Amino acid sequence: MNNDLIHLLPDSVANQIAAGEVIQRPASVVKELIENSVDAGATKIHLFLTDSGRTNIQVIDDGKGMSETDARMSFERHATSKISDPSDLFALHTFGFRGEALASIAAVAQVELRTRRHEDELGTVLHIAGSRVEKQEPDMCAPGTNFQVKNLFFNVPARRKFLKSNQTELSNILTEVERIALVNPEIEFVVKNNEVELMHLQRSGIRQRIQQMFGKKVGQELLPIEVETTIITIKGYVGVPESARKKGAHTFFFINGRYMRHPYFHKAVMEAYSQLIPPTEQIPYFLYLTTDPTRIDVNIHPTKTEIKFEDEQAIWQILMASVRETLGRSHATPSIDFDLADCPDIPVHLSSTAAPQLPKPTVDNTYNPFAEHKPSYNRPSENWEQLFKRNLQMPQALPPDEDSLDNIPQCETTIPPLFNHSEEPSQPSFGDCCQCNGRYIITTFKGQLMIIDQHRAHVRVLHDQYIHQLQNQRSASQGLLFPEMLQLSVTQSVVLEELLDDFTALGFDLSNLGGGSYSIQGIPAGIEGLNPTDLVRSMLDNAIERGSVLKEDVHGALALAMARSAAIVVGQVLSPEEMHTLVNDLLGSSAPAYTPDGKKVYHLIDEMALNNLLG
């Protein structure tokens, strides 16, 4: 009898394990297949999906195709035509190099490959499922390659179960396509899901491609940048300061033709805008870096998008300086010899982003669920942009917080009155309230000193209120006299369509005008001072960031985005009654101690701690 315990895993099992690394969801298949098509020199790539890729993913290209043998070989692990010796690893010019993708896909799906080289009369078709080749025969296919990946994870039920909703998988797929399409504007891309065309990008230049993908407005607000140094070449576009926004700016770095994430370089770009936009806002950028491949290390995990650079600090400096120079050239920023007499002063750029004062239509107050028998706070008088301007003028303000809008000293703002949680007012378990620095409410609670952050407390209370509204589908909309236009990216519109009912439940009145354009005709009552387009965008981006459409998650994201925007800010003077109501509502909320995003709302100091403090 053989007592040896160790044996080699059959290839099919080894491949399945390896596949777990590379293929996590339909979007990973799409990424690998499209990258292969790009590597194969395609000028046209069509992606057809069924059920957001769960049932079927088909990628058709007009690239160079494969021979009969290569078609078979391409599914072997570590089979690649792209590198052959270790030194190649340090000089990569293609997306793929590991020769793992196709083997991994074939291990966890049913794959049909049709391919023909342009010089061949006949192509080949190959069926493979769970790493087993089922058949291969000659085929009359068009030149190029046609991959069909069916029933992903058909043999790994545990993985299949973990796929997210169709909308989430689709938005992940579109994100991957976006990243590839932005670097390859000379390639035509068509994307369809269940026969519906989601994207049709014609061959063009970079700027037109950006415009095709993200709308005319984004395209028009870009400044070109082009710098060549010995260690790096930087080309692309950065947004004008007016294009800044709080969330969801399109920020893309590419290195030698591939997308990368680079938080450190991101800071360099933001640094260039430091005096021009609020610190919590971001501008869009599309920056294409080129460097000698030996100076970077891409030989990292296949699904990671981070890349290591040899000259990181030097590149940081070059990046920052060149963005600054671009801004300077476009008169977006002052420079030392800037002739002030001839040019408008800088804040013009900031104030020009201010939305026109919204009209205030008269509404039936009994229709407003926010106004349930609670004292209202100070009435609105300014919009957020103006508040920010004030903040700029008072740089000595308050200690910094993650949210710069928090730092606004003594001003009136728009805030909705608090929501009435309980029908019978509960007996207060806290003492009298006083306000400190326009930021904290100080009171006593069960014999302890309680210091409450007023903004965070209000975020908690409003969040609960909005969640409640979403669950009960209560809508209280306030019509806008002048509907606002909203231009969304494909991903954003897909998500919005999915969430339309929730937006309506919150009180938004949105109409789809086609082509990613929407008009906002109504907004939830009680948030009149906020910029509706920014709000909807940031709510969508929040939902996208969550990467999930579990109802509770989305409700949470929507409610949080709205609560953050609508909550009272630091600097808002509160009357004793208002403080009392806020603290009362906070203590009656679902989780008074923390904001929905985990920030501490209050701090308690007990008597012993006080004794210790005072010695």
**Shortest CB 266 distance to Mg ion, Å:** 27
Give the torsion sign (CA, 491, 497, 502, 505): positive
Residue whose C-beta lies closest to ligand ADP = 96
Say whether residue 374 binds ligand ADP (CB under 6 A): no
* Binding segment toward ligand ADP, per CB under 6 A, in 78-86, 263-271, 486-494, 581-589: 78-86
Residue in 61, 68, 464, 509 binding ligand ADP, rule: CB under 6 A: 61
Pairing label, strands 188-193, 196-201: antiparallel
Q: Are 180 and 259 in contact (CB under 8 A)?
A: yes
Contact 241, 351 (CB under 8 A): no
- With CA atoms as reference, report the closest residue to 416 among 490, 466, 355, 361: 466
User: Nearest approach, Cβ of 14 to ligand ADP (angstroms)?
Assistant: 15
326 part of the interface to Mg ion, by CB under 5 A: no
* 62 belongs to the binding site for ligand ADP (CB under 6 A): no
Contact between 80 and ligand ADP (CB under 6 A)? yes
- Supply the minimum distance, in Å, between the C-beta of residue 38 and ligand ADP: 9
Residue among 24, 81, 165, 378 that touches ligand ADP (CB under 6 A): 81
CB of 568 to ligand ADP, least distance (A): 54
Task: State the minimum distance, in angstroms, from the CB of residue 96 to Mg ion.
Answer: 3
> In terms of DSSP H, where are the helices of 250-383?
263-272, 312-329, 347-351
- Interface with ligand ADP includes 64 (CB under 6 A)? yes
Distance CA 321, CA 229 (A): 12
Could you say which of 14, 18, 79, 394 contacts ligand ADP (CB under 6 A)? 79
Residue 36 interacting with ligand ADP (CB under 6 A): yes
Task: State which amino acid sits at residue 155.
Answer: N
**C-beta of residue 503 within 8 angstroms of C-beta of residue 536:** yes
Phi and psi at residue 111, in whole multiples of 5°?
-115, 140
Is 19 within 8 Å of 74 (Cβ atoms)? no
Q: Pick from 19, 30, 66, 358: which binds ligand ADP (CB under 6 A)?
A: 66
Site for ligand ADP in 134-163 (CB under 6 A): 145
Query: Is residue 260 within the footprint of Mg ion (CB under 5 A)?
Result: no
Q: Which of 63, 96, 144, 416 binds Mg ion (CB under 5 A)?
A: 96
- SS3 of 86, please? helix
- Residue 99 binds which entry of ligand ADP, Mg ion, none, CB below 5-8 Å type-dependent: ligand ADP
Which segment (93-101, 131-139, 158-166, 445-453) binds ligand ADP by CB under 6 A? 93-101
| Contact pick of 101, 170, 579, 587 for Mg ion (by CB under 5 A) | 101
* Window contacting ligand ADP (CB under 6 A); options: 34-42, 214-222, 467-475, 557-565: 34-42
Nearer to ligand ADP among residue 39 and residue 502 (C-beta): 39
Site membership for ligand ADP, residue 68 (CB under 6 A):
no
Burial per residue of 491-522, b for 16 or more beta-carbon CB atoms within 10 angstroms, e otherwise: bbbbbbebbeebbebbbbbbeeeeebebebbb
Q: Which of 28, 36, 322, 478 binds Mg ion (CB under 5 A)?
A: 36
- 455/601 Cα distance (integer angstroms): 9
How many residues belong to the site for ligand ADP (CB under 6 A)?
A: 22
Phi, psi (rounded to 5 degrees) for 195: 75, -5
3-state secondary structure of 431: coil
**Least distance CB 453 / Mg ion (angstroms):** 50
> Using CA atoms, how far apart are residues 11 and 77, in angstroms rounded to an integer?
9
CB of 521 to ligand ADP, least distance (A): 46
Cβ proximity to ligand ADP, 48 vs 445, nearer residue: 48
Cβ atoms within 10 Å of 113's Cβ, excluding its own: 25
Which of ligand ADP, Mg ion, none is residue 40 near (CB under 5 to 8 Å by kind)?
A: ligand ADP
169 contacts 26 by C-beta, under 8 angstroms: yes
Stretch that binds Mg ion, among 30-38, 166-174, 315-323, 496-504 (CB under 5 A): 30-38
Give the strand pairing for 440-445 and 434-436: antiparallel
Q: Which is nearer to ligand ADP, 65 or 438 (CB)?
A: 65
Smallest separation (angstroms) from ligand ADP to the CB of 120: 13
Task: Kindly tell me which of 91 and 434 has the beta carbon lying closer to Mg ion.
Answer: 91
**DSSP letters for 469-508:** HHHHT---EEEEEEEEEEE--HHHHHHHHHHHHHHHHHT-
Q: Which is nearer to Mg ion, 25 or 555 (CB)?
A: 25
Q: Quick one: which of 426, 461, 420 has its CA closest to 441?
A: 461
Residue 394: contacted member of Mg ion, ligand ADP, none (CB under 5 to 8 Å, by partner type): none
Cα separation, 472 vs 369, whole angstroms? 12
User: Residue 79: which of Mg ion, ligand ADP, none does it interact with, CB under 5 to 8 A by kind?
Assistant: ligand ADP
Beta strand extents in 240-334 (DSSP E only): 251-255, 258-260, 285-290, 296-297, 308-309
* Cβ closest to ligand ADP, residue 303 vs residue 426: 303
Q: What strand order describes the sheet that includes 434-436?
A: 434-436, 440-445, 448-453, 602-605
Name the residues that contact ligand ADP, by CB under 6 A: 32, 36-37, 40, 61, 63-66, 74, 79-82, 96-102, 145
Name the residues that contact Mg ion, by CB under 5 A: 36, 96, 101
